[in-house]
Structure 1
Amino acid sequence: MLLRLPTSLSEAQECLTDGAIPVGGATLVWAAWQRDGFPEQAVSLREVPEANVLGGGEIGAAVLLHRIDERVPEVLRRAAAGIGTGAVRRTATVGGNIVGSTLRCLLPAALVLDARARVLAAEGPFDAELGEVLAKKPLLLSLRWSDPLVSGYRKVAEAPGGPPPLVVATAVHPGTRPVLWVAVRDGYDFLAESVPCDGGPDSVLDALGTTALAALPAEAREVVREQVLSTLQRADDH
């Protein structure tokens, strides 16, 4: 297998045109390739500047998870810190987790940040909704967002050998009418909802009760309630 390491977007485009397969941090694809066979060419974005940005409302797809720090909102920082072991976080990338993983541990954080994706195709870079990225799995360059007023993240203790642990991510975005975003990973399913949050906690919880989040199991709904109340309190104190 030839691993190509472009240093610019134009070189990365050429790799895609030639049929190179994105490799990410190789923490997930390597085992699959060992089982199913290696591609003729793979491409890594680790030398492409646009895929290594960190801060200013943007994070590159080639950023290693252990590098994610105070330059990003709390929800994204805490989500990254809870992924795997230290050795995994020193190898795994943002793009690999969002696009290449079934767990997608960073996705709830990206959803509550209302993030948009910058992706690369053979024709050039373009912006895309997260849903399009998850469905079509293009080559992710970066995620961009507007910083929230406050954000939060909770991951329930993991049962050995069981399904992925419940994750609840929250963020309050400022505006004429502040908006609360809530995203949940329940097993392998993801839900995200947003409601105005200028009417008090009871009003917010009532509004969330009319969304798809109401169909969650009772234990999960209680975790959502606790996380929402904590986030709203922090927003009031901000």
Structure 2
Amino acid sequence: MLLRLPTSVSEARECLAEGAVPIGGATLVWATWQRDGFPELAMSLRELPEANVVGRGTLGAAVVLHRIGAEAPEALRGAAAGIGTGAVRRTATVGGNIVGSTLRCLLPAALVLDARATVLESGRVYETDLAETVAKRHLMLGLRWRDPVVSGYHKVPADAGGPPPFVVATAVHDDGDGRRLLRVAARDGYEVLSEGVPCAAGSDEASHALERTEFGALPAEARAVVHRQVADVVARSAGA
């Protein structure tokens, strides 16, 4: 296998045009390749500056999870900190987790931040929403978002090797007109739900609104977790 390490977007596009397979941090593909065979040509974005940005409101796709720190909102920090072991977090990348993983542990947090993805194709670079990015398995260069007023993340404890644990991310956003919107996203099994509801009148209003969405169909225990997280983030936003 030949591994290419492009240092510019134009070079990365050339690699894609040649059929290079993106590998992210390789934590998800290595075992599969050992079983099924390695591709002739692969590509990593670890040397590409645009994919390694860590800053306020932006995060590169090649950034490894343990680098997600104080610059990121609480929801994103919490999601990253709860993924795998320390060794995994020092290898796994943002783009690999969101696009390449079946669990997509970072996706709920990215959704409540209303993040958009910059993606790379052989012919262009453009920005799109996360739904398209995940559905079409785009090669992601990075994420951009507008910082929320407050955010939060909770992962329900679960036994190793069992079903994916239930997780919920929350964020309160200021729309700039004196109104606030609560975004909530949850992973239930391998499915991810996401909704935005008003929260100016408090957490009860937001919880009642969520009950009229797909969140109302969650099991009672999962709904209780969601409501607790909603109450927490809305209460914290009141003083912010």
The bucket for the TM-score relative to the shorter chain is: over 0.9
The runs of at least 4 consecutive aligned structure 1 residues that moved more than 4 Å come to none
C-alpha offsets along residues 117-151 of structure 1, whole Å, 9 cap, x if unaligned?
A: 00000012111111111111111000110000000
Other structure's SS at 2:207 match: helix
Listed one character per residue, the Cα deviations across residues 146-194 of structure 1 (whole Å, up to 9, x for unaligned) are 0000000000001233211000100000122210000000111100000
State the secondary structure of the residue aligned to 1:117: strand
Report the TM-score, using the length of structure 2 for normalisation.
Answer: 0.98
Matching residue of 1:144: 144
Give, as a single letter, the amino acid of the residue that structure 1 aligns with 2:200: D
Pairwise mapping of residues 1-238 of structure 1 onto structure 2 (< 5 A)?
1-175=1-175, 176=177, 177-238=179-240
- Answer with 36-45 or 156-165: which moved more: 156-165
Structure 1, residues 169-221: CA drift from partner, whole Å, max 9, x if none?
Answer: 00000122210000000111100000011122221111111111000000000
Give the residue type in structure 1 aligned to 2:61.
A
Q: CA deviation at 1:81?
A: 0.6
TM-score for the superposition, normalised by structure 1? 0.98
Percent identical among aligned pairs is: 66
What do you get for the CA RMSD once the two structures are aligned?
Answer: 0.7
SS of the counterpart of 2:55? coil
Distance 1:109 1:161 in 2: 23
Unaligned runs of 5+ in 1: none
Using the alignment, how far apart are the partners of 1:23 and 1:155 within structure 2?
27
Q: How many residues are paired up?
A: 238
The code of the aligned residue for 2:155 comes to: K
